[in-house]
Structure 1
Amino acid sequence: MEAYLPLLAVIIDRLVGDPRSSLHPVVMIGNLIAFFERKLLKLQHSSLLKNVTGGVLVVLVLGITYGTSWWIMNLLGMIHPWAQFIGGAILLSFTIAPDSLAKAGNEIHRYLVTGDLKQAQYKVGWIVGRDTDQLDVAEVTRATVETIAENIVDGIISPLFYFMIGGVPLAFLYRAVNTLDSMVGYKNDKYRDFGMCSARVDDVFNYIPARVTGILLVLSAILLRLNVYGTITAIWRDAAKHPSPNSGFAEAGVAGALGIRLGGLNYYGGVASQRAYMGTATTVLGPIHIKQTIQMMYVSTMLFTIGITIFLFMGR
């Protein structure tokens, strides 16, 4: 039955979505990280000591997350195989986020097409870290497309990839890795040293899934009759330009498929930051590209889900 668990998890995510609750496992992982951060991070510590305590944070959070999810899955298995199957699918659905990404993108798209730019700026500010109050329609679109594209890796392919290798516990371990990076993996004065281990572990864990995502986006472009040559060219030419060793594969792939250019000038707290360009602009960025990115996300999700289902079924 385990072979069908990813498919059921994707269906649950699509039907139920991602409930907002303090009891959500990812929220609980975030609370665990915050607790240990308060205990371990002392700003007066040396850079070396911050590196060490940051490594301790990673070990503690990953160990507790993996151990807890392993214990829950074994407990469910002792109750009944069906309890383990259904419970495992529900737990796995917490580690993926296609429905959340689609809802966020569709909401911003709706505000853009109805002319409510202010509300679109406000909503896109929920999913990106850059300043959004001065963005025009094209820039709101770019921010939304970049975020959805990047999260195809972090929010879908990576957790499913690690489920394929090590079941629900390893999928949760990956989710803890990604949550650590999103909370402390910043290159600012506070987290540069303390969060270095978290950021590097996240880079390692996403290395293979990011490149698998590039392949999935090429296949998605074929199925959706988008620019396949542009997808391949943009990934080959532009992916390495991204400051992240992994995010460029998804962003460049989407940009090439849609004939748009991502990257450019962003502002963070009023400070300008130039991001390398991805793709070649053959059309002006507009709300339709949000919809097309969501379509590519869903096709990539289903292709990978079907692929790992077949892989697991054949490996029985």
Structure 2
Amino acid sequence: MLIFWAVLGGFLLDALFGDPAWLPHPVVLMGRCISALEKRLRTALPKTPRGELAGGAAVAAVLPLGTLAVTGLACWAAARLHPALGLALQMLWCGQALAAKGLAQESCNVYKELAKGDLPAARRAVARIVGRDTQNLTAAGVTRAAVETVAENASDGVIAPLLYMLLGGAPLALTYKAINTMDSMLGYKNEKYLYFGRCAAKLDDAANWLPSRLAALLWVAAAALTGNSARGAWRIWRRDRRRHASPNSAQTESACAGALGVQLAGPAYYFGEYYDKPTIGDPLREIEPRDILRANRMMYAESLLALVLGLAVRLMLVL
């Protein structure tokens, strides 16, 4: 029952408080470890494709395994001191592994600037949550970027960590976050990370394969619950779920595009380089700022569905 209450408590902590700036976050420490490991390994190993592959593989092994060992030991030690302390630590880390409230807050900041008609401020706001270049985006481009981010991060920021914490508590959820953080820092297909980041990217693909597909199906159900088009979400998901270089990223994006009846993705600039990405969904209407709010409602609806279903399964297994 420890994991049951830890997951429920963590979910409520994230829903109520998100990630307060004053509270140290494990992902920040993970990022520092990744940077330190990368610097040391690039210095020590040959600057060749084989050397960079070896360095990236070392990071991809050390960080997740280290995270699992350290957090597992911490939770065990806390529980040995007192069961309530062990539960409190697991609740805290489960809450920090989830990103629903933070995602909603950041995307709503984009909506507020668009609603005021302040496009430069909207570009700055969306730049906080997307990797693409934003300085030349139109209002529609800013809106599209925010909606895509909500849809994609509903999977790797909410559903995936929720699934892993249901399986193995906070240590497994934070191990997943370590994998996801590595991918966000190293998993680029540019000259610098083509070889060094390959193992991190492949590991992230594997870790997200099942959660992303569960998230897409939950998004279809969430579309029905929030007054959007479940039929459109199902149709576009089945058609467009593979229209992305990643095997996972288009899963929830396609369901979101179909639910809203808009077109997402398409060409974009990253670090000044043009990428001719395929579009996702049909432009049944023009995208509008309120679609950010609609996407957030579906994200919250699917999160609640995942929590209820996951806890129900967990309870049945315990009983």
TM-score bin, normalised by smaller chain = over 0.9
What residue is the counterpart of 1:104 in the other structure? 106
3-state SS of the aligned residue for 1:286? coil
Alignment of 1:146-161 (within 5 A): 146-161=148-163
Residues 217-275 of structure 1 deviation map (CA, whole Å, 9 limit, x = unaligned): 01101111211111011111001011110010110000000011001221223332222
What residue is the counterpart of 1:292 in the other structure? 294
Match of 1:231, as an amino acid? A
For 1:134 and 1:56, how far apart are their aligned partners in 2? 38
Q: Residue 44 of structure 1: CA displacement?
A: 5.0
Match of 1:31, as an amino acid? R
What residue is the counterpart of 2:117 in the other structure? 115
What residue is the counterpart of 2:37 in the other structure? 36
What residue is the counterpart of 2:229 in the other structure? 227
For 1:22 and 1:127, how far apart are their aligned partners in 2? 20
Conserved? CA contact 2:265–2:279, under 8 Å: yes
Detail structure 1 runs of 4+ shifted over 6 Å in the superposition. none
Matched, 1:260 2:248: no
Matched, 1:17 2:3: no
What residue is the counterpart of 2:202 in the other structure? 200
For 1:6 and 1:284, how far apart are their aligned partners in 2? 39
Match of 2:10, as an amino acid? A
Q: Residue 307 of structure 1: CA displacement?
A: 1.1
CA 1:168–1:22 in structure 2 vs 1: closer, same or farther (change >3 Å)?
Answer: closer
3-state SS of the aligned residue for 2:266? strand
Match of 1:249, as an amino acid? Q
Q: Residue 86 of structure 1: CA displacement?
A: 2.1
For 2:71 and 2:114, how far apart are their aligned partners in 1? 41
For 2:284 and 2:168, how far apart are their aligned partners in 1? 42
What residue is the counterpart of 1:5 in the other structure? 6
For 1:214 and 1:128, how far apart are their aligned partners in 2? 20
For 2:70 and 2:271, how far apart are their aligned partners in 1? 38
What residue is the counterpart of 2:165 in the other structure? 163
Residues 84-141 of structure 1 deviation map (CA, whole Å, 9 limit, x = unaligned): 2222111111111001100011111011111111100111111112121221111110
3-state SS of the aligned residue for 1:240? coil
Greater Cα offset, 6-15 or 36-45: 36-45
Matched, 1:249 2:241: no
C-alpha RMSD of the superposition: 1.3
Q: Residue 13 of structure 1: CA displacement?
A: 0.8
| Runs of 5+ unmatched residues, structure 1 | none
Conserved? CA contact 1:7–1:306, under 8 Å: no
| Runs of 5+ unmatched residues, structure 2 | none
Count of aligned pairs between the two proteins:
316
For 1:199 and 1:265, how far apart are their aligned partners in 2? 21
